Structure 1
Amino acid sequence: MTHGPRIVDARLHLLSRQVLDVDGEPVSTVDDLELRGPDGSEARAGQEAHVAAILVGPALVTRLFGGRAPTSRMPRIAWDDVGHLGTAVELAVSSDGLDADWVEHWVRERLVERIPGGRHDPEGDR
């Protein structure tokens, strides 16, 4: 069965939704969207647009404080990787191949692991 384009309300169906990978593992939450025009160019107000990617991680925080994360480090998940929109945004791919959680890895490796006991898995002792 072939489905045509689906019209969604971004505030209702996308923003702040939990993102789960194909295995149901949490990846992040949707902070922003990357929109493109019909020809792939940058979207313009008042013209038709489609979602090219969902942005996760620090995208919203940098905008709230008047800045913008470098484009090369904006964690994005291609819209083609989205499998289903429901109470969560479900991906059709594993999170292992995504760079969406680079901030979490950076904090863990550079901060948390330096705290005494930070390399210890408390659930591993059971």
Structure 2
Amino acid sequence: MASKRRPCLVSCFLGILLNALIGGVCGAELSLKLEPSDIIAVQEQPLMLHCQVHGIPPITTQWRRNGLLLTQERHYTTFINGSLLIAHFQKTKSDGSSDEGDYECMAQNSFGRVVSRKARIQAASKLLYYS
């Protein structure tokens, strides 16, 4: 049993050491470098929400809207750096749902989990111009 655990402990120690050497804070095995911000989105346009996490890999990133996990589908794409792309922002979809809401990024590795601030995403109002 001890022989199986030794490579894991050595690998873990080297990861922490490397993290400290390249500028990480000792003991901060996972931290948010960039969090999403509030946005007024334009109907039918792409929208990118940023989330960058620093930590010891492997790191998994997920997004929630109004507290519910977003599923990977054509409409939503989570990039390897943690950012979320909404392909065509829609205030009201055909099923009655909306892309508006409070979004948060969650990242997790073997040391724990971090959750970003909530970013409020709202649709831009249509402006009427009179001549």
- TM superposition score normalised by structure 1: 0.27
Bigger helix fraction: 1
Bigger strand fraction: 2
Greater C-alpha Rg: 2
**Greater relative contact order: 1 or 2 (C-alpha under 8 angstroms, separation 6 or more)?**
2
